[in-house]
Amino acid sequence: MKSLHHFPLLFLVFSLALATCSSADSHEDFLDCLSSYHPEESSSISRVVYTERNSSYSVILESSIQNQRFSMPSTPKPLVIVTPLNTSHVQTTVRCSKRHGLQIRTRSGGHDFEGLSYVSDVPFVVVDLFQIRSVDVDVENREAWVQSGAITGELYYRINERATNLTFPGAVCHTVGIGGLISGGGYGLLFRKYGLAGDNVIDARLVDVNGRVLDRRSMGEDLFWAIRGGGGGSFGIVLSWKVKLVPIPSTVTVFTVGRTLEQNATQLLHRWQYVAPNLPNDVYSLISISTTNSTETGNRTVLVTFISVFQGSANELMPLMQERFPELGLVRENLIEMTWIESIIFLNRLPNETPEILLNRTYRNTLLSPAFKAKSDYVRKPMPEIALQGLWSQLLEDVATTATMNIVSFGGEMDEIPESALPFPHRKGTLYGIDYNIGWQEEENNNSQRYIDWIRKVYRYMGAFVSKSPREAYVNYRDLDIGRNNDDGKTSYTQASVWGRKYFNKNFDSHEDFLDCLSSYHPEESSSISRVVYTERNSSYSAILESSIQNRRFSTPSTLKPLVIVTPLNTSHVQTTVHCSKRHGLQIRTRSGGHDFEGLSYVSDVPFVVVDLSQFRSIDVDVENREAWVQSGAITGELYYIINERTTNLTFPGALCHTMGFGGLISGGGYGLLFRKYGLVGIM
């Protein structure tokens, strides 16, 4: 299985702070670099570079900010915005940013919930891809090349121009950038039938940390896997994607039916949890929860709106809903037939608009408030009615008038695709995903904390009813509350795993798969090797780790710990550990006596395994031939003792310190009391 910790260098360049010089110096040097890197293109690239001295700077920066929470005077601004026109502009920006210690933020549609595509706390450059958005549709082969700066609406429109019976399984919101959508996996109207957007990518072109342009073949399958769900801005700048187009019928059917608490909304939502994940793959089922004034009492009440898009006619959908969900009380008048492209317009609340509205990337979605805070969850067991009732009381608080919850049913094809197919792990067993959102007007930004406090309180309340160990979250609904990287670029694997496992579950690391590999590589030895494998869940883990740490400088709570310790008993155990570490991308640290002055035999900055040779220390002395076989886990004192047991007139010219591990001693040459007479240990 692949894992997201395989790419530390790329991740550092594009997502963590590299700034090592003053922002003023790096700023000017960066601009000089841009114009001089390819002198023949200096006039070309100068037309797409904006600093705060340019009159267009603010307009371009604001153009794609979808969350006005990050459009305040106090919000950090980029030193430079680059709006590349071609691949060379992107390559030059990457190389110059790296050379001059500037962080890169990449923006396609600007929908990052935490503004991370255009905000940073260290000196940074925004690469805004809005001018790299071509769409090339190949109807015959049911494929398309789409550049990352295109919005999903543009892709839908261009496909629809060429063929009304094909589309791409992308997002519902038409202004979401293709680059951001796919980089987080991406789900929408068709994901229950065709999987995620990332599941339908065939190839990609990416500019890596060194400015090289890579396609699927040259980047390799591991990186190709990571860019389709591992999170935007982490592994390079993806220029374009080759995607599969999928068939759609000439008619789809939609319905939107609202029910208040007085109309049994609680009972209907409770029942929906059992029905929706098991509906046919052709049904997309969404619930939107908000508050409204009751038509019966005039008081605020909770409104639960049931929304579905069915790939087929009303005559097909009506009997299906009557059979599966009669409690909803759906009638034929609730069903509206339309084309697939019209259903996108309908769900984006764009009544009376033509498909051309999908080309409008600056359209402000009325589904979201100008400024907002959002969080996400996944549910694997239906919530009881009493839990829903507890939720309603919080939604009816005065601060929550603009709060919404969107609940999207999973199941269908998502149950059939393995969790490890992409970094996006929320597959089989997921009943539905939840998006919590609370918004406010831009002028309320200075008083936004009360809204943020409310959504955090709701999130805490929901903890008892959603996925656990980890509590899962959707990386495209980024939430810095669950964790973030350090601004100085020195984020440990242990620290990153707090949020990494929420977004990516087992795909964040290959710890569990490594353990599976150990037990399955030689099935006949699985019980044997299991006795010498220790993780942090084992009570003996800490004792074994500490047993040979000779430098307590590397025994602090902040010291990075191995995912697994293996204490092999035989050669096969070592072979299996090496093989499985290589297969699952884990570094190996080998320890014999633990005397490494910098702790490198048991410490690493990347996910690693310690092979501790403390049980691998037999000594076989051949007095007659003046030879001995000694295993690497023995300490020099053991060798001296065993030789002395057999003969008092022979020894080995080893180290003076008797606890020095034999493997470490010889691997560094090694000298001791007798080296002036017999040379180094390694010579012997």
Active-site annotation, residues:
477
For 608-659, give the DSSP string.
EEEEEGGG---EEEETTTTEEEE-TTSBHHHHHHHHHHH-SS------SSTT
Task: State the DSSP H helix or E strand holding residue 406, giving kind and residue range, or none if neither.
Answer: strand 404-409
Residue found under tokens 């297969």? 583
> Which residue type is seen at 676?
R
Residue found under tokens 């839990």? 387
CA distance 18 to 137: 39
Number of residues written out for the chain: 684
CA distance 617 to 241: 54
Q: What is the number of other CB atoms lying within 10 angstroms of the CB of residue 571?
A: 10
CA distance 446 to 462: 27
CA distance 467 to 52: 45
> Which residue type is seen at 472?
E
CA distance 515 to 643: 38
Residue 49: CA count within 13 A, CB half-sphere: 22
CA distance 407 to 286: 6
Q: Mapping DSSP to helix (H, G, I), strand (E, B) and coil, where does residue 126 land?
A: strand
CA distance 373 to 319: 40
CA distance 579 to 212: 31
Distances (CA, A) of 671 to 593, 634, 676: 16, 17, 9
Distances (CA, A) of 345 to 61, 157, 372: 27, 11, 23
Task: For residue 429, count CB atoms less than 10 angstroms from its CB and return exposed for 0-12, middle for 13-18, buried for 19 or more.
Answer: middle
